[in-house]
Chains A and B, each alone.
Chain A
Amino acid sequence: MATAVSILHVVLALVLAPLLLGVINRVKAKFAGRRGQPLLQAYYDIAKLLRKGAVYSRTTTWVFRLGPIVSLAAVVASLLLLPLGAVVAVVAFPGDLLLWVYLLGLMRFVTVLAALDTGSAFEGMGASREVQFSLLAEPALLLGLVALAAWSGGLSLSQLTGTHSTGWLTGTAGAITLLVSASWLAVLLTENARIPVDDPNTHLELTMIHEVMVLDHGGVDLGLIQYAAAVKLWVFAALLAGVLLPVRTAWPLVNLAGGVAGVLAVAMGVGVIESTMARLRLLRVPQMLVAAAVLAALAVVLVLR
């Protein structure tokens, strides 16, 4: 039963991931007083892209074609290691949290290389910013994991967010939960190229980060990339929801439903942030990430003292 629910989570994640983008856009539209695009717009976009042919720059090599494929495979593999609150991951073992972190690193590596393969200055610039910001996000992510590992005594993501409840928002447990969540929220926004780090809607190449890296991809490749990005957003949202949410019942299906609701809530939260915050100056982003790392470090100190 538990395994079946775990597999169900992966299936749900693969199916619902593009919906998160729809939810975020809906929230933003409501804030702006618009009707907004359909909730399923991301699905339409991806489906349309998958029906197209392709144009490849003569500069590019097989690395460019490999990029979208490997990043999709890596993010799906990371999904296999991901619990959702009390729903354990399909594959759980001590140390899976590191494999999870480094699989996302692999995704970044191939995306950056594919960008550099075009020989375009804009894409090189996006690649440079991407590695800069994600390397600064890494300490926050790892320190958060250390805090939760020390708190729960487990070495597996599923133990970190699942079977050992972190308590809920009271006392030291609450302080730790909130600190790690705040820190990881910054990581989520950075890794998924959302405001205030990057603006997915921008149309000026000089200011873009993630979008500019995939400027030369088109057709099927772009469809795969957009889908992989949606799954990545799900991955981070599920991690955050798993830490924050108190749904820890004896019924796996209820846990799953609660978790999915939590993921949608995180998406709505991202929408609210995008509607109410301005984008940070690029020079300020490292500062925000250092602050996130400091919060996570504080959580570590609280646990270990």
Chain B
Amino acid sequence: MEPWLDVIAVLLILANLRLLGTSRLSVCIQTVAAQALLLGAVPLLMHADELSARLIAIAAVYTVIKAIVLPWLLRRAARELGGTREVEPFIGLTLSLLVGMGLFGVSLFLAGPLKRAGQGHSGLLIPVALFTIMVGLLVIISRKKAITQVVGYLVMENGIYVFGVAFAVQEPLLVEMGVLLDVLAAVFVMGLTIYHISREFDHIDTDRLSTLKD
């Protein structure tokens, strides 16, 4: 199953790049969902020879929540809030892609020393985890809308999940806790940002919040 882990890692990278390269909000949400779907499979693949019910349950819960429930919520939020269907980036999409490629280089560089500490499964898992976290940050930084910031947050979470899986394989409980916390935090943050901001200001373009500064 190891080779397939590599393939999944590559697909995760591609999902990240797609996230950076697309101009459509709906594609963004789709991509995050697809990424979560892939992530659900990672622990299963890593322990393909010793599958336990608990492992499968964790994967299932994670997949259902992050790949189905949250994207559905996001989509609903996007629809209800109206506005354009574009992501409205601060920096161009092409530049985003190139920056993304640069970040991947950085994460490979950083993963070098970390790999020794990690479990040495697929050599790509840790760089991909770092890369995913950075892309999440990049999306938060470089996109205007609140909803894209939530997307960025979810991507970052995906990255942290990969990180956890890569490091704490023998500690399923840790992963479980992580998953549950993830979910809680995600729902919480999303609810807060989107609904709160939109109630106060009637729109969810954080760019306009900067009028507050003076």
Classify A-B as touching or not with yes or no (CB < 8 A): yes
A residues adjacent to B (C-beta < 8 A): 170-172, 174-175, 179, 286-287, 290-291, 294-295, 297-298, 301-302, 305
**Chain A residues in 8 Å Cβ range of B98:** 290, 294
14 contacts between A and B (CB under 8 A): A170-B3, A172-B3, A175-B7, A175-B10, A286-B94, A291-B21, A294-B98, A295-B17, A297-B101, A298-B10, A298-B17, A298-B101, A301-B104, A301-B105
Per-residue interface assignment for chain B, residues 92 to 111, with 1 indicating a CB less than 8 Å from any chain A CB and 0 otherwise: 01100110110011001000
Known: A172-B3, A294-B101, A305-B123. A179 touches B94 (CB 8 A): no
B137 to chain A, nearest CB (A): 19
Interface residue SS majority, chain A: helix
**Chain B residues in 8 Å Cβ range of A170:** 3-4, 7
Q: Which one of A171, A294, A302, A305 contacts B3 once the chains associate, using CB atoms below 8 Å?
A: A171
Which residue of chain A lies nearest to B8 when distances are taken between CB atoms in the complex?
A: A175
Q: Is B6 an interface residue (CB 8 A)?
A: yes
Per-residue interface assignment for chain B, residues 1 to 20, with 1 indicating a CB less than 8 Å from any chain A CB and 0 otherwise: 01110110010011001000
Q: Which one of B6, B17, B93, B94 contacts A172 once the chains associate, using CB atoms below 8 Å?
A: B6
Contact check, B4 vs A294: say whether CB atoms are below 8 A apart: no
Interface residue SS majority, chain B: helix
B residues adjacent to A (C-beta < 8 A): 2-4, 6-7, 10, 13-14, 17, 21, 93-94, 97-98, 100-101, 104-105, 108, 123-124, 127
**Chain B residues in 8 Å Cβ range of A290:** 94, 97-98
Q: Which one of B6, B17, B94, B123 contacts A171 once the chains associate, using CB atoms below 8 Å?
A: B6
Contact check, B97 vs A291: say whether CB atoms are below 8 A apart: yes
Contact check, A294 vs B10: say whether CB atoms are below 8 A apart: no
Which residue of chain B lies nearest to A299 when distances are taken between CB atoms in the complex?
A: B10
Contact check, A287 vs B21: say whether CB atoms are below 8 A apart: yes
B21 to chain A, nearest CB (A): 6
